[in-house]
Structure 1
Amino acid sequence: MNNQLKNIIDQYKNGQLKVRNESFSNETILNEFLGLSSFTNVNFLDLNLTNVDFELSFFYDCSFENCNFDTPLFREASFLNCNFKNCSLKNCNFIKAEFEEIKFDNCSFEKAKRGSLSKAWFESCHFIETNFNGFNFGSLIATAVEDSKFSKFNKTIEFQGKFFLIDILESKTGIEGMLFKY
């Protein structure tokens, strides 16, 4: 199936969507409330999502490819067994968001003005050629990474146990230095 996400949103103007087994592509979604929604086995391809509120939403078995997120709200959203490929996540609010068994492949997290990963949880995730740009201590406070991998330059570091993302990204050599063999 290949429906238009915008048409589905227009039917439910109060958020709380329940979307299963759908594919959405080549759309731009602006200024929408999709809080408390559920997405299961949904494919998002070539979407531009600007100022979309996904607060307390749940994503299971979803894939995001070539998607651009600009200033979305994912506060307390949950992602389980999802894939992000070639996605730009700019100015996202992921406060208290949970990511479990997620693959980020060639993605970019960018903090501009209000973006935050504060208190987010990444468990059993794999970050492949993924960058975190512009984040400071305040926007990464208590952001935890557990049993996850970071891969760059054909090298991989695997973290067993719980770590804080700020400690990984702000080490003396950064993640690139940790992955580069001297």
Structure 2
Amino acid sequence: MNVKPTSAPELDQIASAVDAWSLDAACAYADDPDVFFSDVKDPERIRHARTVCRDCPVIDPCLLEAVSRPKSQDVGVRACTVPEERSTMRARGLGRCDPERVERVLAGARGHLSPAERDLAVVRTIQLGLPAERLARALDIQLPYARRKIADERRAIALRAATNPGRPRRRAREAA
């Protein structure tokens, strides 16, 4: 069976489909979209932006995407929150691990992965037989480093298998 490699335009289509929720965002149709990204120190502008966000049908994916961004890219009012509030949320959620998010990012969607999600991305790359180039793109790392991460994880998997061959079998008497 021949498997056609995914091309860059196909990955862009996947990423666009994943981010399609933003087309339903209330801010996309606001009278003054600048209110979301201008001076977030102005209480009146923040209040106005939050009023629009409050009834938004996609507030949950918006917040998840906003909190998932690196702090350096976190600006404006998103999902009724300002960067300082999202920074606190981000600090509390460093251990979060969303397998579906990892799959989307490996498929080419934009997104920032938590440390736990980055580790899972390496494991899923191995499990799915994806090339190291895909992992490098997903994690925004150099190809040699992606190859090393994959090799390290393969060694760890082999070590776990060698040191934990499975549960001991129950004796017939215990099973009855």
TM-score after normalising by structure 2: 0.32
Higher strand share: 1
Higher helix share: 2
TM-score after normalising by structure 1: 0.31
Which of the two has higher C-alpha Rg?
2
